[in-house]
Amino acid sequence: MSGIRTTVLPNGLRVVTDPMAGVESVSLGVWVGVGTRDERPAVNGVAHLVEHMVFKGTRRRSAFDISEQIEAVGGHLNAYTTREHTAYYVKILKEDTALGLDIIADMLQHSVLDEGELARERAVVLQEIGQAEDTPDDIIFDHFQATAYPDQGLGRPVLGKPEIVEALPRDALVEYLTGHYSGQRLVLAAAGRIEHDRLVELAEAAFQALPEHRPAPRERAVYRGGDYREERDLEQLHLVLGFAGVGFHEPEYYAHSVLSTLLGGGMSSRLFQEVREKRGLAYSVHSFTGSYEDGGLFGIYAGTGAKEVEELVPVVAEEICKVSEDVTEDEVRRARNQIKAGILMSLESSMSRCEQLGQQLLTFGRHLGPEEIVTRIDAVDAGMVRQAARRMRACTPTVAALGPLGKLESHDRIAARFA
């Protein structure tokens, strides 16, 4: 990846490329450094709705034109919204690079946001919200997030609240686009059969109508923790138990990644072995980390039966406590190898490399090469993992549960298990 180059255009747009020999395609996209946490509470869901609406027609292209022109050359166009970023990306053959870039630039600068299309797309997003609500192992993570970060941007749902989404006016979308999609917040990333200077030339011509930059400091993330429970008539209880994690810029970031991997990151992990293999308490159990600009979360998800939860919670708590005391260097080595293998294998995909470039420039302001990341992972030892687990145990836990709640311990009782 030594061929990576970055150019900053006069309007602030960063263009970064990662050439790959031996491929005939290009993955490219625009990563925008705003997401759900950048919304005002009164327009929760506007970032996601904007992401939908830019596909619904521009001054030069109808919604059908956008999809038809990409698919006519065998390409794939998509987008997603997170709490801190929004991305629009395409994978195409190398000879169609200019077309893919032009379509994305057109969508982000010249969308008409037609009122009729907006009414239909509001209905589509409301269906998406309803689908999430009907998927307990999906929506439980929104409840977990809201309980960990109450009354702040990081705690609000990416899809938005139904009562807000169904009333969002066109003006709110225009305000969000013009207020947030400036060149300084955009990264154009590309990987594959790409020439950097040619992409810079195309970008200079395509991105001439970006709005003026308006500084908008983010609300500071403040982890609170707490308890959310919703009784539902389900076969399983869906449970997320978590704690304050670390942000991308904190020194303990990689130690938390190793901790998550050895605790619940695979079939050989402690939780999988103890909860599923030895005791049969859950079909699905895993740990995860979620990092942000200035904070993060560490969590464990389990789907378990109404009776089994009575034993499962003490077992999970015990494993978390044990990992803060008796982690071995062999365990840490295996976890490090899992993480490194995942990173290095992802380099075989142009889309993964493109996405890494976009996210890294937004998060760190520069590209982090695999050698640098692997060095940081290799620096994690057992003592650092134990310290990360102890730090985690010291905060108020977050408990989110959905399903039959009868045998789930109180929040105070669960919290006492980590004292």
DSSP 209-274: -PPPP---PPPPP----EEEEEE---SEEEEEEEEE---TTSTTHHHHHHHHHHHHSSTTSHHIII
Confirm if 189 and 28 have CB atoms less than 8 A apart: yes
Helix, strand, coil percentages in the chain from 3-state DSSP, rounded to 5: 50, 20, 30
**The three-state (H, E, C) secondary structure of 282-322, written as one string:** EEEEEEEEEEECCEEEEEEEEEEECCCHHHHHHHHHHHHHH
Q: pLDDT tens digit string along 27-82?
A: 999 999 999 999 999 999 999 999 999 999 999 999 999 999 999 999 999 999 99
Q: pLDDT tens digit string along 241-259?
A: 999 999 999 999 999 999 9
pLDDT category of residue 1 using cuts at 50, 70 and 90: low
Percentage with pLDDT > 90 across the chain: 97
Work out the average pLDDT over 146-172. 97
Catalytic positions, written as ranges: 51
Assign 31 to helix, strand or coil. strand
Q: pLDDT tens digit string along 344-389?
A: 999 999 999 999 999 999 999 999 999 999 999 999 999 999 999 9
Q: pLDDT tens digit string along 113-123?
A: 999 999 999 99
Residue type at 174?
A: V
Domains of the chain: 5-206 (3.30.830.10), 226-416 (3.30.830.10)
